[in-house]
Chain A
Amino acid sequence: MTTTADEATRGSATRAVTARPEAPKPSGLVYLGLAGLAVLAFIIFWVTRDSGEILLIPLGFVTLWAPLYPVIGLAVMLLTLLVCYRARVGTMGGFGALAFITMSYWAGSTVNFTLLEIPSRWSNVEPRLRAFLDPNWSYIWTVRDQWLITISMAVVATLIGCAIGLVLAMLASPVSSPNKGVSQAIKAVNSVIRSIPDVGWALLFVAFIGGTAHGLGPMAGVLALLMFNIGIVAKLLSETIDSVNPGPVEAADAAGANLTQRNRLAILPQVLPGFVSYGLYVFELNIRASAALGIVGVGGIGSAIMLQLNRFAFENVAAILIALIVVVLLVDMFSMYIRRKLL
């Protein structure tokens, strides 16, 4: 080690400094193509524009006009490309920057995002805000049964969801699945499960088996949270399985273990900390989700919030929400404690 270092220093003293390699120049042709894309985006923005504001460009003999915002967009796009080119950003990087600007422009103009509405509605907002800031503390205890339902729903959904998620994750990861076909199929099923949000599942189950009105709210809620949890746990855990140390897995294979045995003995212990951690995370999400799920007719604390909102009893809603924050914080602290013990 020391001898080579010595040689290196001596070498640099005698020999002339060798030329440092330059960053490779990105292809100008591709950048020209990207500029073409920018112009294309500009034309699309022009055609689909909402705002009538116009930019006038006097040239002396004739005055050109163009819609104001698309022109600003085009200028920003071209400037970005120029900067990227000069900074020798690779063509994929340039494309990424262009895509980012185009998407922000398009998304912003589509939803007409603006904050101008709020002041004009202040007279409406003010009394409600006042009620909110003066919570009815005594109300918290009145809804204890709803809290109990919420927490029970979260516990049941977490336990069953993690168990099913574990099996699906084992089938989905190519490391632990019986073969590639099973792995691909289960991954597809997982994607479908995850593509429907928790509220979507709740609406579905309320529609199919009945909600609070039929006394089935908690049932629909558990099923909705269950699907939600399966999707998350299966996804996160199968990715954890993808990256386990293959050594013990090979050793179990070499000892003549069958697939189930080797997954249980060589893979499960490796992913157990991650698994528990995902379970705690999902439990937290379930408590949070229960507030939103009440709105679509599922039992628990969410339905209490819904009821009080409909009665304009904002001081009660505020009390529940503050209790919700406290509960979520407690769950968070609890799971952090467990995770620390575990890892």
Chain B
Amino acid sequence: MITFENIDVVYPNGFKGLSNVNLQIDKGEFVAIVGLSGAGKSTLIRTVNGLVPFTSGTLKVGDEVVDPRSKAKLRRLRSRVGMIFQSFNLVTRVSVLNNVLVGRSAETPTWRSLLGWYRAEDKELAFKSLERVGIVDKAYMRASSLSGGQQQRVAIARVLAQDPEVILADEPVASLDPPTAHKVMRDLRRIQQELGITTIVNMHHLDLARSYADRIIGMRAGEVVFDGPVEEATDAVIEEVYQRSLTAEDIVAGDAAAESSAAGDAAARDSATEGAVTERSVPAAKAQD
């Protein structure tokens, strides 16, 4: 369980990134955070693992109170909290396996990391994680030789190798084309359900949030302005969060193989409205950040 109590984030330049955030995220929940660019989604997600230190309030992950000033405590916290990024953040020059093994760092003695000589059980855990995202056969390939969707799966495997309680994902599919975006989201959803890992995902595509999350949190100007189950996050509610009407850019093109009916609906809506939607939403996704 993650609890935010009156959390404020003031950046070093004085900008207020979060103001008075109160949240409770239960164990095993899949939460999507939506909001326009600059709303504070990344800031919120990064306070959880201390990549952005909060400046006042109390933050708890499980039973542990997060202390952004203690490096040792942060490292211990981060070993329990995995993170996935928009740009995958793999070391492209080394093998997929070595990228996944970065997730074992907190449990690996420094001398082993220096020599690159991992324990057999750590390697086995890395292989298992790769198996879970279906690319174990690529283990000894260079990360740079994989496609975007495969690279993001390596990043998910890196997180799984941490054996985390929480997964944070900051716009994990924003640089992927729509079908791949759906595939990666399905992987995340499956992993959350199989392993019961609390998952918090930032996204700016409303249809993806509705298809894969249990709960949606809407943010605007550093504040939480909506928090409720997917069913309550109607178009009208989200328009209130965004302070504008919804456009084609808020929706990723549908995916033919989508299991969830909501994704199918979104796809149908897309193709019905305008042929240009599919073409336009892809560059829009890439232009973000």
Contact = CB atoms under 8 A, between A and B. Distances in A.
**B is bound to A:** yes
Max chain B C-beta neighbours (<10 A), residue from A247, A251, A256, A270: A256
B105 interface: yes
Given A248-B91, A251-B83, A257 B114 contact: no
Contacts of B98: 265
A124 interface: no
B208 interface: no
A256 B110 contact: no
Interface residues of A, number: 21
B172 interface: no
Given A250-B89, A251-B102, A269 B162 contact: no
Contacts of A264: 113-114, 116
A254 interface: yes
8 contacts: A255-B83, A255-B102, A255-B162, A256-B78, A256-B106, A257-B105, A261-B108, A265-B102
Nearest to A252: B102
Contacts of A261: 105, 108, 110, 113-114
A266 B102 contact: yes
B199 to A, nearest CB: 15
A289 B113 CA distance: 37
Contacts of B75: 256-258
Contact of B89 (A251, A269, A273): A251
Contacts, number: 82
Interface in B83-123: 83, 85, 87-91, 93-94, 98, 102-103, 105-106, 108, 110, 113-114, 116
Contacts of A256: 75-79, 105-106, 162
Contacts of B85: 247, 250-251
Interface in A214-265: 247-248, 250-258, 260-262, 264-265
B220 interface: no
Contacts of B181: none
Nearest to A247: B89
B158 interface: yes
B49 interface: yes
Given A256-B105, A269-B93, 14 more contacts: A247-B85, A248-B102, A251-B90, A252-B102, A253-B78, A256-B79, A257-B113, A258-B105, A260-B114, A262-B105, A264-B113, A264-B116, A269-B91, A273-B93
B91 A270 contact: yes
Contacts of B159: 255
B93 A270 contact: yes
Contacts of B108: 261
B101 to A, nearest CB: 8
Interface string A45-75: 0000000000000000000000000000000
